């Protein structure tokens, strides 16, 4: 039954990809910005969590809570200082800027952390699994998948059941009229 295990693991990994895609689609859907550095910013956030855990001795959850406002601040700074200057009618300038940012982030992270793969230690959750009969599923992939479902439901609720979501959708449709 290796095919069943592969199918289940693929679905769980799809939850992680859905989390990444949610952010990417929000930026594109609302701002019409193709952010080629999106994945690199996710990796930067993961390295911030890794440094919080390994250098400062924080738990992974606390390190993630610290990394969130840091990444929010970085995103705001990038938006205010760089992206607002190139957003407009032409798609090429933002594409080039985010491509350059991607290259700079990749090379900066390569210099800072080398090409060796790293893992954020999460204690007992690393090896914890749930036996479902024919398939054994890791707790971390299950938590990731569950958080993807919660995030997508929350975003759906935000966009289709709140005034803020209506404003987001109106801005996406026609920024001048909204």
Taking residue 83's Cβ as centre, other Cβ atoms within 10 Å add up to 20
pLDDT in tens, 82-104: 999 998 878 899 999 999 999 99
Q: Rounded distance, CA 47 to CA 120, Å?
A: 9
pTM score, whole prediction = 0.86
Which of 86-95, 121-130, 149-158 ranks highest by mean pLDDT? 149-158
Task: Say whether pLDDT at 1 is over 80.
Answer: no
Domain-located, residue 133: no
What are the contacts of 161-169 at 24+ separation with CB within 8 A? 168/30
Domain finish residue from 96, 122, 148 = 122
Average confidence score pLDDT of the chain: 91
Per-residue confidence at 36, pLDDT binned at 50, 70, 90? very high
User: Over 80: is that where the pLDDT of 40 sits?
Assistant: yes
- What is the per-residue pLDDT across 54-83, written as a single tens digit (0 to 9) for each? 999 999 999 999 999 999 999 999 999 999
Residue 23 lies in a domain: yes
β-pairing, 136-138 with 129-131?
Answer: antiparallel
Banded model confidence at residue 28, pLDDT cuts 50, 70, 90: confident
Q: Are residues 74 and 115 in the same domain?
A: yes
Residues 171 and 113 in one domain: no
Is residue 56 located within the same domain as residue 113? yes
Higher-pLDDT residue of 39, 125: 39
- Which structural domain, as residue segments, surrounds residue 53? 37-122
What is the pLDDT confidence band of residue 175, given thresholds at 50, 70 and 90? low
8 shares a domain with 42: no
Q: Are residues 23 and 47 in the same domain?
A: no
Q: Express each pLDDT in 129-144 by its tens digit.
A: 888 888 999 999 999 9
Q: Determine the Cα–Cα distance for residues 60 and 121; give it in Å rounded to an integer.
A: 7
Asked if residue 58 is part of any domain, the answer here is yes
Is pLDDT at 177 greater than 70 in this prediction? no
Tell me if 166 is assigned to some domain: yes
The answer to whether position 127 is within a domain reads no
Is residue 129 within 8 Å of 12, Cβ to Cβ?
no
Q: Please report whether residue 106 resides in a domain.
A: yes
If one counts the domains in the chain, the total is 2
- The residues near 70 (Cβ < 8 Å, ≥ 6 apart) are 48
22 and 82 both lie in a single domain: no
Size (the chain), residues: 178
Cα-to-chain-centroid distance, residue 165: 20
> Is 138 strand, coil or helix?
strand
């Amino acid at each position: 039954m290796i095919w069943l295990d592969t199918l289940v693991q693929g679905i769980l990994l799809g939850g992680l990809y859905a989390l990444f895609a949610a952010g990417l689609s929000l930026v594109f859907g609302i701002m019409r910005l193709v952010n080629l550095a999106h994945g690199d910013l996710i990796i930067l956030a993961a390295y911030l969590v890794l440094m919080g855990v390994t250098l400062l001795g924080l738990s992974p959850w606390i390190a993630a809570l610290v990394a969130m406002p840091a990444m929010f601040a970085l995103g705001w700074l990038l938006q205010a200082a760089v992206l607002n200057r190139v957003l407009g009618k032409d798609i090429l300038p933002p594409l080039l800027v985010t491509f350059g940012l991607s290259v700079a982030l990749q090379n900066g992270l390569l210099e800072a952390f080398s090409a060796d793969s790293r893992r954020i230690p999460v204690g007992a959750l690393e090896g914890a699994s749930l036996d479902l009969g024919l398939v054994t599923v890791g707790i971390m992939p299950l938590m990731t998948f569950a958080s993807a479902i919660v995030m997508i439901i929350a975003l759906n609720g935000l966009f289709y059941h709140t005034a803020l979501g209506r404003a987001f959708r109106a801005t996406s449709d026609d920024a001048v009229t909204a």
